[in-house]
Amino acid sequence: MDFLEGEVLYFNKPLNWTSFYLVKQIRNRLSRKLKVKKFKVGHAGTLDPLASGVMIICTGKATKQIESFQYKTKEYVATIKLGETTPSFDLETEVDGSYETAHITRELVEETLKKFTGSLWQVPPVYSAVKVDGKRAYEFARAGEEVELKAKELVIDEIELLSYDFPQITVRVVCSKGTYIRALARDIGLALNSGAHLTGLIRTRIGDVRLSDCLDAEKIDEFVENAFNGRECKTSDNDSNN
């Protein structure tokens, strides 16, 4: 493998790791092995710390491919709790509201989900990296400041109810770039005349890359050692900024 020239790697991001932390772990280990100080490593699509699953990591000149990967269709499996909301629409923040759920049935959920396919407009969560006046929206939210975000158009190709274990439901979502599954959970709750928030999220696919194709991110050391011991990649004694 030639990490300096550019490689595309698939990792399963662990729960509670930030996307940046995963990139940092890979960059640090490869930099030491390659004996370079500057080394480009980036990811093609952020996952929240409370989500796990497919992350595409590009090194060296392959980082030029990141944008093309970001536009590929993504698939998620999401667990949503009905009847309660949180400010972040997930478990990052505490429950701030409880709502009626006696009217909710499996049949109602299935009918409601049908409304969330095709081209939709979605308001991103305030606890997100969307930029407002040069700052990330989550910076305003965590400081207790109100911020108004504009709705963005997205496409949901498929949404399927995988399980109904009231008050929790699990859904499979196939969607376009820019879809916030946390915001989708919020909107499903509203459409059910109740509330909802995300309690679990796994990204199972980006384009043709599936979870089964991914390396275990907690075994980065083993991956790097195997790559170099097998003489599958090139090293350099010079600093590089590919």
**Residues that are catalytic:** 48
The number of beta carbons lying within 10 Å of the beta carbon of residue 128 is 19
The label of the residue with tokens 């490689």 reads 7
Q: Are the C-beta atoms of 130 and 136 separated by less than 8 Å?
A: yes
Q: Are 161 and 173 in contact (CB under 8 A)?
A: no
| Inter-residue contact 165 to 154 (CB < 8 Å) | no
Count of other CB atoms within 10 angstroms of residue 187 = 19
Peptide bond into 167 cis (omega under 30): yes
Q: Cα(171)–Cα(212) distance, rounded to whole angstroms?
A: 19
- Please state, in angstroms and rounded to a whole number, the distance separating the CA atoms of residues 190 and 75: 23
Q: How far apart are CA 16 and CA 241, in angstroms?
A: 30
Q: Which amino acid is at 125?
A: P
